[in-house]
Structure 1
Amino acid sequence: MTESVVRALYGKAKSLNLSSKKINVVPECISRLPNLSVLLLKNNSISTLPNELLYLHHLVELNLGNNALKELPAVLGHLESLKKLYLFSNQITAVPPDVIDGLQNLVVLNLNHNHIRRLPPEIKSLTRLRHLSVLDNQLEEVPAELGHLTSLTEINFTSNNLPSLPVQLYQCKELTKLHVARNKLTSLPEGIKALTKLQVLDVAGNKLSMFPVEFDSLPLKELYHEDNRFVRCEPMSSVQDVEVLMLKELAARFVLQQDRDMSSLVHRMLPYYPPLPELLANGSCCALCLNPFLTTWLECVHFVSVNKETKIRSSKTIPVRAFLCSYKCFNTEGHSYYSVAKK
């Protein structure tokens, strides 16, 4: 190790590789390498970092994978030029908000194989982040602030304890790869259809019963969905409830219908009643008649054949959720929507 550091000092090196050197302490003399841009320290026994790293103003890549860190050292939050940070295979249990706040130029963050249960809301500061990987941790939730990371192209939350994903995920419109296999997901956010660049989706080993509305419109090239609890097409008798709509629903349907007409009085007056547009934003459209409604009258499913060019494990046909506005639509002939049996 000493020879590597000495050569770097004399050569005013821009990169230094101290990986697999059996060290447990980072040499403080590294601070005398102000032009250092790449520092590789993986496969050692490092448990702390010296404050002298503060002087590495040009450090772009730091690899601390496979060490003995139990927390993210505070000094990391001062490495403002850092773009790639690898912290895989440590013993980290938490991600401090103050450290995340100082890494606003980060492009790659790898926290694989640790013991992290939560990501802080302050993760929204990483607006340039493109690759986020927290594989094989103990994540129990993902903050809604993930939606602020609009530069993300790849997310890997495989092998965690996630029961759901935030609906704000649909704001990450640059996303091309989403890996959430082996979690506890019972559904995917309905807004996922907005991820028009998504090419790879891995949801294997969850508790999904069907995919979200218009899921089949995504341009997927790879889909992995084995070992879920998807509904099956097994016809059985059913009893229809009496079709009674609440006054709120009737009024909402009328307003939503009128709002489609740009010249209508309702459309022109809505901006003067701010709470109404916010409420009506949660509305949807009937899969058959296309008329708007506020709440779901009938949740259905249709079985969609996946594009032949898509690499897919298990069945080539997947169940996709659909909403119908009434039994009147459901009872019309010529459609392929099925009501979902409740157990």
Structure 2
Amino acid sequence: MAEFVIRAFNDKTTSLTLSSRKLKKVPECVSMLPRLSVLQLNNNFISSLPAELLSLQHLLELNLGNNALEEVPAVLGHLESLKKLYLFSNRIRAVPHEVIGGLKKLVVLNLNHNHIQRLPAEIKCLTRLEHLSVLDNKLEEIPAEVCHLTCLSVLNLTSNNLTHLPQQLYQCKGLTKLHVARNKLTSLPEGIQTLPKLQVLDVAGNKLSMFPVGFHQLHLKELYFEDNRLVRCEPMSSVQDVQVFTLKELVARFVLREKRDRSSPVNRTLPLFPSLVTLLANSSCCAVCLSPFLTTWLQCVHFISLKKDMNMRSSQSIPVRALLCSYKCFNTDGHPYYGVASR
């Protein structure tokens, strides 16, 4: 093995492949290759990395897939030129924040098939990251800091234990593929319809009952949603409660209407009350009359044809969430919205 590395040193090589060689540790002489840009160490029995790898400051790609690592080696956090890091099929349980914080040039990070329960908030430091894959782990939540990754194109979180996704996911404007199949999701983040580049969405095998408001505005090419608990269009008798709004709701609706008029005195003085601005930020718009309201009065659903409304090949329909401001709007003739019955 040493002879192989020495020959590579004499050839001034920039790429070294030591895959599938039954290695239990990285040969020390690898650190003698300072010009190395690609190092393949996958399919071995490596359980740790030597500190001497610090000398590989020109390393751009490192493949440690299918080894015996139980943690992300600390030395990786000092390889500041690294752009592609593959750590799939190891025994990793945690991703140290100090390691992630040092990989600011990383473009691809593959952590598939490990035992990771959470990702550190420092993942927001990976501002150049385009491909993040944490398939088949034990993630229970995704830190909101992931939403700072505006260059992120592919996010694969398939086969984890996620019950929700960060509400700010719509900030990842570069996202083209989102894979979250086989989790425990009961809903998708509102605002997801504003992802301009999203083409592939896989939410199969979750607990979704409907898709978020405006979902049909996405320009998807592929949508996978089998094995969910989507509501069905089944006529049922309804019981309407007496429509009584709280004083807070009535005032909020008045302020929200005034806020739409730039010349309104209410609109001009609103910035003087930051707590009120924060409260009104959670307002919605009625799907029928388009009036603003604060508290969801009536949650409805309309059924979207993937072929007709989203220009997809599938002839299936999906339920998309819609919000109405009152029973008055709900009882208006001609709209396509159905109330959602609870059983």
2:124 paired with 1:124: yes
Change beyond 3 A, Cα 1:50–1:311: farther
Higher alpha-carbon deviation: 266-275 or 85-94: 266-275
1:51-70 residue CA offsets vs partner (Å, 9 max, x unmatched): 01111111100000000000
2:152 paired with 1:135: no
Corresponding position of 1:256:
256
| Shift in Å, 1:267 | 1.0
Q: Is residue 43–residue 66 contact of structure 1 (8 Å, CA) maintained in 2?
A: yes
**Letter of the 1:100 counterpart:** I
**Letter of the 1:304 counterpart:** I
Q: How many Å separate the matches in 1 of 2:84 and 2:307?
A: 36
Q: How many Å separate the matches in 1 of 2:162 and 2:213?
A: 21
Q: Is residue 270–residue 277 contact of structure 1 (8 Å, CA) maintained in 2?
A: yes
Corresponding position of 1:310:
312
Q: How many Å separate the matches in 1 of 2:35 and 2:275?
A: 55
Q: How many Å separate the matches in 2 of 1:4 and 1:229?
A: 57
**Letter of the 1:42 counterpart:** N
Q: How many Å separate the matches in 2 of 1:240 and 1:320?
A: 22
Q: Pairwise mapping of residues 96-245 of structure 1 onto structure 2 (< 5 A)?
A: 96-245=96-245
Corresponding position of 2:339:
339
Q: How many Å separate the matches in 1 of 2:217 and 2:3?
A: 58
| Shift in Å, 1:277 | 1.5
Corresponding position of 2:247:
247
| Shift in Å, 1:5 | 0.7
**Letter of the 2:97 counterpart:** P
Q: Is residue 90–residue 113 contact of structure 2 (8 Å, CA) maintained in 1?
A: yes
**Letter of the 1:98 counterpart:** E
Corresponding position of 1:82:
82
Secondary structure (helix, strand or coil) at the match of 2:182 reads coil
Gaps of 5+ in 2: none
**Deviating runs (4+, > 4 A) in structure 1?**
none
Q: How many Å separate the matches in 2 of 1:149 and 1:264?
A: 38
Instruction: Kindly tell me the number of residue pairs found equivalent between the two proteins.
Output: 341
Q: Pairwise mapping of residues 13-52 of structure 1 onto structure 2 (< 5 A)?
A: 13-52=13-52
Gaps of 5+ in 1: none
1:53-96 residue CA offsets vs partner (Å, 9 max, x unmatched): 11111110000000000000100010100000000000001101
**Aligned CA-pair RMSD:** 1.0
Q: Is residue 4–residue 18 contact of structure 1 (8 Å, CA) maintained in 2?
A: no
| Shift in Å, 1:190 | 0.8
Q: How many Å separate the matches in 2 of 1:15 and 1:195?
A: 38
**Letter of the 1:281 counterpart:** A
Q: Is residue 223–residue 311 contact of structure 1 (8 Å, CA) maintained in 2?
A: no
Q: How many Å separate the matches in 1 of 2:77 and 2:35?
A: 19
1:87-122 residue CA offsets vs partner (Å, 9 max, x unmatched): 000000110111111011100000000010111111
| Shift in Å, 1:278 | 1.4
Q: Is residue 2–residue 29 contact of structure 2 (8 Å, CA) maintained in 1?
A: no
Q: Is residue 306–residue 313 contact of structure 2 (8 Å, CA) maintained in 1?
A: no
**Percent of aligned pairs sharing the same letter:** 72
Q: How many Å separate the matches in 1 of 2:181 and 2:16?
A: 36
